[in-house]
Structure 1
Amino acid sequence: MRGQRIGFLSITATASTEGSRTVVRSAWAGLAAGCLHTLAGADHLAALTPLTIGRSTAKASLLGALWGFGHSTGQLLLGLLMVVLKDRFERLVPTLSKWGGTTVGLTLLAIGALGIWECISDARRRGSTPEGDLHVAEANLGDIQQKDDRSFLLYVTGIVYGLQPDALFVIIPALALPSKLAAVAYILLFVFGTVAAMGGYTAVIGATSDAIRRTNSGLTTSLSGLASGVAIVVGCCILLSGWGVALPLTAAA
């Protein structure tokens, strides 16, 4: 009897250890998936770059993290919808793919257009302020404070970006894990990876552009205009691909 009890405890301990390892592996997998999915999306980077150029490192990082949290919120909502609807969800995928891509494309166009408009306004102020860079710097500070009021809009934009069918490729692994604890660990670390990756990316953008702005504010404006132009190009490509237009790169592939 004692030998059987010891054997049972040994089996239980082994199972517990293996379960703990599964949870740890799932957590690392979620962290990697969150980081890679966020930074590998050209539309993600194109959307946030124009909005964070010229900010301080802390503000840029916080806004990037807020966008990342909104992105994860959208993905989790899509995953919940998939679980609730089950078989019927497959019918929604083509619609989500088409209209989701259209929404992202239009959002990028709006971000790019807004960024270019702000660059034009900044250039006009620069040309009409003979007193020098002090007035331009004060005007830029006012623009930055005005942009910071759009934090809720950034969060909503992140949610829109998360409601895309490609989010299922990072949600489905959580549903296939052997235990609920492992699935929870995967999802939590995926959210953390998404927030950390985008917060880190925008922190780099903010620190670099802020350092440039201190010595050459005109170059910062030019970089912001360039980033806004890239956002418009990426938005147009997404819209054209969603409408079934063959792009040169796609045709060549």
Structure 2
Amino acid sequence: MKPLFLLRLVLDFVAAGLLMAALAYYWLDNATHEIIGTAMFLLLIAHNIFNRRWYGTITKGRREARGIATKIINLSLLTTMLALLVTSVVISQMVFSFLPLTSSFTARQIHTFAAYLSLVIAAVHLGLHWSMIMGLVNSRLGVTTESKVRTFVLRGLATLIAAFGVHSLFAVNVGSKLFMQTTIEFWDFQTSTAAFFVHHAAIIGLCVFVSHYGLRLLQTPRQRSEYSGDRR
């Protein structure tokens, strides 16, 4: 594994972690929330610089399931992140407070909507590349042979995480965020801070599970072999 590629991968996971941390707005003070968000966007800018050549391939390449799905998800994630960035600037009370912009309740609603939609799409994006990631992990761990037992255990664990992720969708009330519904329910960080992050991690796991195995169902046996590197 090339050091630069490993660095890119680490930065991507750090950006995802910052996004999840930023969702805990009522656990953080506003200043910390904005600083985390700004750091996340700087990492996303770096991500796009590292992957700038991809934009030249949008109208090229084979029209197969993985390629089409990847392009749709990537462009959707870019659009959602831009919406998140714009609303961040509009509602900022510290980092961008010097700009002559007026915040509004609608802008905050769109910001929350874009944040949760970004989390979901980013997780789907991760799922589309899960075979590659697991292949790299196996390579680093020196795993070179297939194991039916290991495959069974890993798939079983993935299924359990996905099932808990479904429960977490309701526990966190993601639906109200994605439909921009006004609610008076807020997470109680004084009694269950860890649970907040566990639920969001499970939601990420659910989206990775659905996109990874959903894509495998759409692929031919040959395509599965080409993109399989996770021994699953």
The structure whose residues are more often helix, as a share, is 1
With structure 1 as the length reference, what TM-score do the two structures score? 0.29
**Which protein has the larger Cα radius of gyration, Structure 1 or Structure 2?**
1
Higher relative contact order (CA 8 A, sep 6+): 1
